[in-house]
Amino acid sequence: MTMGDSIHGSSSSSKWFFFFLSSSLSLNLFLLYLFFFGRQSDRLTWTRQAALEAEAVASLSCSGHGRAFLDGIGSSQGEPACECYACYAGSDCSELLPDCPADAESGDPLFLEPFWMQRAERSAVVAYEAQTHLFNSEDYEWKGDAFQWKNTSDSSVNTIEFVTSPNNPDGQLRRPVIQGRFTKVIHDHAYYWPHFTAIPSMVDEDIMLFTLSKITGHAGTRFG
Ligand SMILES: Cc1ncc(COP(=O)(O)O)c(C=O)c1O
């Protein structure tokens, strides 16, 4: 390498240095300008606009017989409108159409949810008698680890075994241990997610509990 090469090299790298320095300064000045002056603009950002639209939609109840959509049927000027469930009509879905057969098995299984939410007292008694008796907690006593009762439990006594599978904290898949005609098993699958243990197959038990608590942190959110 000659002296000329080295001088040429250092002058071209300082050109790049000034180029990046001036680009970075300009960008920062531009962002500062946006930060101080851009916010005074009356224009809505898309997130604020979306939040306002979501609030407008949420404020429309649709009488519990429909769902509000911003782009719903009949909404022309970007105003939220109700899309009524089967057998309901009107701008707020309050008109019940006479002699209208509704097929409860077609479509959204939650289509009656808002209706029952408005009638919480009556919806609370939707239960079968046998299940209600079985789970009457007054008749039950906590007996501890099911392994202790595996061989000693009286097979004619109503028993509920909770099976946590995968188990907390070891992540082991578990099976019920108490046998008997009067034993019911509740499978707690809160940890049935592949990052806790390898999931060998789909589960299909009579009573299963799932939650989003361990996957997304939405504690108390259940399905099953
Ligand atoms: C094994 C097991 N089942 C159920 C739950 C309850 O989950 P949730 O947060 O949905 O109440 C937990 C919560 O810690 C748990 O560890």
The residue count for the chain: 224
| Partners of residue 68 on adjacent β-strands | 82
- Least confident range from 29-38, 52-61, 108-117, 192-201: namely 108-117
- Closest CA to ligand 1's atom 15: 190
Work out the pLDDT band at 224, boundaries 50, 70, 90: low
pLDDT the model gives residue 72? 44
Tokens describing residue 193: 């997610």
pLDDT the model gives residue 35? 76
- Verify whether ligand 1 is closer than 6 Å to residue 163 (CB atom): no
Answer yes or no: are the C-beta atoms of 155 and 181 closer than 8 Å: yes
136 vs 113: CA distance, rounded Å: 26
Decide which of 50 and 184 is more confident: 184
Per-range mean pLDDT, top range of 37-41, 110-114, 186-190, 214-218: 186-190
Pocket test for ligand 1, best of 163, 209, 213 (most atoms within 8 A of CB): 213
Work out the pLDDT band at 165, boundaries 50, 70, 90: very high
pLDDT the model gives residue 163? 95
Q: Where are the domains of the chain?
A: 46-123, 129-223
Among 1.10.10.10, 3.30.70.20, 1.10.150.130, 3.40.640.10, name the CATH number for the domain at 129-223: 3.40.640.10
Pocket test for ligand 1, best of 163, 172, 188 (most atoms within 8 A of CB): 188
Among all chains, which residue has been given the structure tokens 């009656």?
Answer: 112
- Verify whether ligand 1 is closer than 6 Å to residue 164 (CB atom): yes
Answer yes or no: are the C-beta atoms of 142 and 162 closer than 8 Å: no
63 vs 115: CA distance, rounded Å: 8
189 vs 21: CA distance, rounded Å: 56
Tokens describing residue 210: 């799932």
Task: Please give the CATH architecture assigned to the domain spanning 46-123.
Answer: Ribbon (2.10)
Tell me: pLDDT of 107 over 60: no
- Verify whether ligand 1 is closer than 6 Å to residue 220 (CB atom): yes
| Nearest of 69, 42, 74, 50 to residue 58 by alpha carbon | 69
Average pLDDT over residues 167-172: 86
Work out the pLDDT band at 174, boundaries 50, 70, 90: very high
Digit-coded pLDDT (tens) for 125-161: 444 556 666 667 777 788 888 888 777 656 678 888 9
- Closest CA to ligand 1's atom 2: 190
Q: What is the Å distance from ligand 1's center to 209 Cα?
A: 9
- Verify whether ligand 1 is closer than 6 Å to residue 167 (CB atom): no
Buried b (16+ CB within 10 A) or exposed e, 134-163: eeeeeeeeeeeebeebeeebeeeeebbbeb
pLDDT the model gives residue 217? 76
Sequence-distant (6+) residues with CB within 8 A of 193 are: 199, 214, 215
Work out the pLDDT band at 83, boundaries 50, 70, 90: confident
Decide which of 24 and 72 is more confident: 24
- Average pLDDT of the chain is 74
**Distances, alpha carbon 20 to alpha carbons 23, 138, 185, in Å:** 5, 75, 67
